[in-house]
């Protein structure tokens, strides 16, 4: 279903990775060079100024943190449009199905920071 994402719409924001394929395989395994990888999905649509604002505000929070950001146009996926159409933009921790909504309409920086912190804390909470 998400295989139709173009390369320009799928971005890895970890500047430490020179090999994108290696980065993606680590992210799929839930790992990065800095600990567990966080995959965020941004549901957008064309000509959406709130989508542009959320993307721009999100970028400084995730750059260099081992975060994979996937953007999906809800208008290209009928099931997603039906479920999230009135809420776009929507930021989800994980995939749209089974992931946890972090925020919609406006970026909730606190929710993003909490999701990042949860992934950066080792099991058992010992740093």
Q: What is the mean pLDDT of the chain?
A: 79
116 lies in a domain?
yes
* Exposed/middle/buried for residue 105 (C-beta within 10 Å: 0-12, 13-18, 19+): middle
Domain housing 115 = 9-122
- Give the pLDDT of residue 10: 43
In a domain, 1, yes or no: no
The whole-angstrom separation of Cα 29 and Cα 65 is 16
- Give domain status of residue 36, yes or no: yes
- pLDDT, tens digit (0-9, with 9 covering 90-100), for 39-87: 999 999 999 999 999 999 999 999 988 899 999 999 999 999 999 999 9
Query: According to the model, what pLDDT value does residue 15 have?
Result: 41
Beta bridge partner(s), residue 73: 44
In a domain, 18, yes or no: yes
Structural domain count, the chain = 1
Phi-psi region of 61 (alpha: psi -120 to 50; beta: other; left: phi over 0): alpha
Structural domain contains residue 24: yes
> What pTM does this model have?
0.71
Q: What percent of the chain has pLDDT over 70?
A: 66
CATH number of the domain enclosing 106: 3.40.30.10
């Amino acid at each position: 279903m998400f295989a139709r994402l173009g390369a320009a719409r799928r971005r890895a924001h970890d500047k430490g990775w020179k090999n994108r394929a290696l980065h993606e395989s680590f992210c799929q395994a839930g790992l990065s060079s800095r600990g567990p990888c966080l995959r965020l999905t941004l549901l957008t649509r064309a000509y959406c100024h709130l989508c542009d604002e959320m993307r721009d505000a999100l970028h400084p929070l995730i750059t260099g943190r081992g975060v994979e950001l996937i953007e999906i146009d809800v208008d290209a996926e009928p099931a997603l449009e039906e479920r999230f159409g009135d809420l776009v933009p929507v930021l989800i921790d994980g995939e749209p199905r089974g992931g946890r909504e972090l925020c919609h309409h406006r970026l909730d920086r606190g929710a993003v920071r909490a999701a990042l912190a949860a992934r950066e804390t080792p099991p058992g909470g010992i740093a």
